[in-house]
Amino acid sequence: MRRVEVPCTVDIEQTADSLHAHVVPEGIEIQPGDRVLVHGAPSRVAFGDRLELRCSATVIRATALGRLWAQISGLLEFTALYEVGFERREAP
């Protein structure tokens, strides 16, 4: 397992318009199967607040087998999101 320490930007918002938490690691490309552990960021903000801060993160690189498994399972999960069906419609 290969670990890389990188700086990152964390954006957390909980408002009537948006509920999200985004992490952008800097100077490294995240690939399928990689894990990102963020250090020092709050896990929540109060309703109506938005917080953007810089902190550090540890990127744990996936092995070749782990990367392949992430790609295959991602495709299988994607196919579960849609359903195609044909139903007979009655004429009015």
pLDDT tens digit string along 28-43?
999 999 999 999 998 8
Where residue 78 falls among pLDDT bands split at 50, 70, 90? confident
Token couple for 47: 């309703």
Query: Looking at the domain assignment, is residue 86 inside a domain?
Result: no
Burial label, 8 (beta-carbon count in 10 A; 0-12, 13-18, 19+): buried
For the chain, report the end-to-end CA distance as a whole number of angstroms: 63
For the chain, the domain total comes to 1
Query: Looking at the domain assignment, is residue 64 inside a domain?
Result: yes
Query: Looking at the domain assignment, is residue 57 inside a domain?
Result: yes
Would the pLDDT of 92 be above 70?
no
Contact present, 64 and 72 (Cβ < 8 Å): no
Contact present, 33 and 66 (Cβ < 8 Å): yes
| Predicted local distance difference test score (pLDDT) of residue 91 | 67
The pLDDT of 66-90, averaged and rounded, is 80
Query: Looking at the domain assignment, is residue 89 inside a domain?
Result: no
Would the pLDDT of 80 be above 90?
no
Question: Residue 28 is part of which domain span?
Answer: 2-79
Query: Looking at the domain assignment, is residue 87 inside a domain?
Result: no
